[in-house]
Structure 1
Amino acid sequence: MADRLRADAQRNRAALIAAARDVFAEHGLDASLDEIARRAGVGNATLYRRFPTRRDLVAEVFAGQMTGYVELAETALADPDPWAGFVGYLTRLFEAQATDRGLSELLANSGFDDDERLAGLLATAQRGATEVIQRAQSAGRLRDDFTREDISLLMRANAGVLRSSPDSGAWQRYLSLVLEGLGVSKDL
């Protein structure tokens, strides 16, 4: 009987994480926990037993997605063209923001520095972003004054574009304008 309960508990936990991922993606980090429990097919007590705080649930949901964020830099660094790697990095980052409101809020605000897993993944992702930037700058393609902190500014601005624009593709137009402003012309 104990094994059955353990299997049920695992299923409930997995259902809560899957439901939370969907609800956070749709509604952001302040989404209703009641809605998460409802979609997972469990009661609120089960949600709070597995995840005593919203922060615990957010950390569990986004630890896997932050791993994907780390991989964005690795993909960019593998591109033989430093500028194309940088452009691809920003494009995938902005696209992730556009498709997942919760991830967008997490990346734009970095408000979970007190969670060891997320903080570690964020630090790794930031190191990778710095390498992507420096590589494009060394190739003479990215303006010299651009820093990793500027990516945070761009992400906050993109979050605003995503929230305020009725056009779901507005982020792509915004990104195009940003890239034109950041690039160094080879003709100079």
Structure 2
Amino acid sequence: MTRPLRQDAAERREKLLLAAETAFARDGLDAPLHLIAEQAGVGRATLYRNFADRSELALAVFLKQIDDLAQRTRAQLDDPDVFIWFLEQMTRLMLDSAGLSSAIRDLKDEALAPIRQGLKAAGAEALAVSQAAGRVRPDLTVEDIRVLALMLGAPSRTAPAKAREALSLRDRKS
């Protein structure tokens, strides 16, 4: 059993995650780790004490983004179209984090389990609300969310500009 981090250690870890998220978005996954540590205001040893390597840091950043999406989804549960909103946000996340998602795609299933569980839980709540409101087909299941996530991630690898354009058109209609 792992002990919870001391408050100062937890704060440093959070600063590292925020700096990594910014650096990965700006420079891709090749962002120099020493610059991430510097941006977070910590030394390299602190970075490596928290994250063994670049993949572990990328996984932690992506998991944080999934957790954020889950929290924002729960805040939208009074909207009958929350499942559509969830899918749009998931698409944006896949586009904005294309490098992260491709970096973790090859990780073992047990490493990806928290990400899948987070998406599944948030999606299930949103799906139930939208189905109850008659906005989503009643035969769509929680298991379909994983397939949807894979399909939504495909444009981030093949045609990100077109995917962003489609989302912006959707935004203008709203």
Which TM-score band applies after superposition, normalised by the shorter structure?
0.5 to 0.7
Distance 1:169 1:127, change over 3 A: closer
Aligned mate of 2:35, from 34, 38, 58: 38
Change (3 A) 1:47 1:158: same
So what's the TM-score if we normalise by structure 2? Answer: 0.63
Q: Percent identity?
A: 28
Could you tell me which runs of 5 or more consecutive residues in structure 1 were left unpaired when the two chains were aligned.
Answer: 1-8, 177-188
Shift of residue 74 of structure 1?
0.8
- Give the aligned length: 160
Q: For 1:28-67, what aligned pairs fall within 5 Å after superposition?
A: 31-32=29-30, 35-41=32-38, 47-67=47-67
Structure-2 change in CA distance of 1:10 and 1:18 (3 Å):
same
Corresponding residue number in structure 1 for 2:155: 161
**2:117 is the alignment partner of 1:123:** yes
How far is 1:153 from its partner?
2.0
Shift of the alpha carbon at 1:121? 6.7
Distance 1:156 1:43, change over 3 A: same
Q: Secondary structure at the match of 1:141?
A: coil
Equivalent positions of 1:136-155 (< 5 A) are 136-155=130-149
Structure 2 residue identity aligned to 1:160: A
For residues 129-168 of structure 1, give each alpha carbon's deviation from its aligned partner in whole angstroms, at most 9, with x where no partner exists.
Answer: 1132133223333122222232222222222212222436
Residue type at the aligned position of 1:130: A
Q: What RMSD, in angstroms, separates the aligned Cα atoms of the two structures?
A: 4.0
Per the alignment, residue 4 of structure 2 pairs with none
Long gaps (5+) in structure 2: 1-8
TM-score by length of 1: 0.60
Match of 1:101 among 98, 101, 106: 98
Where do residues 75-114 of structure 1 align in structure 2 (5 Å cutoff)? Answer: 75-79=75-79, 81=80, 84-102=81-99, 104-105=101-102, 109=105, 111=107, 114=110
CA contact (8 A) 1:86 1:133 kept: yes
Partner of 2:167: 172
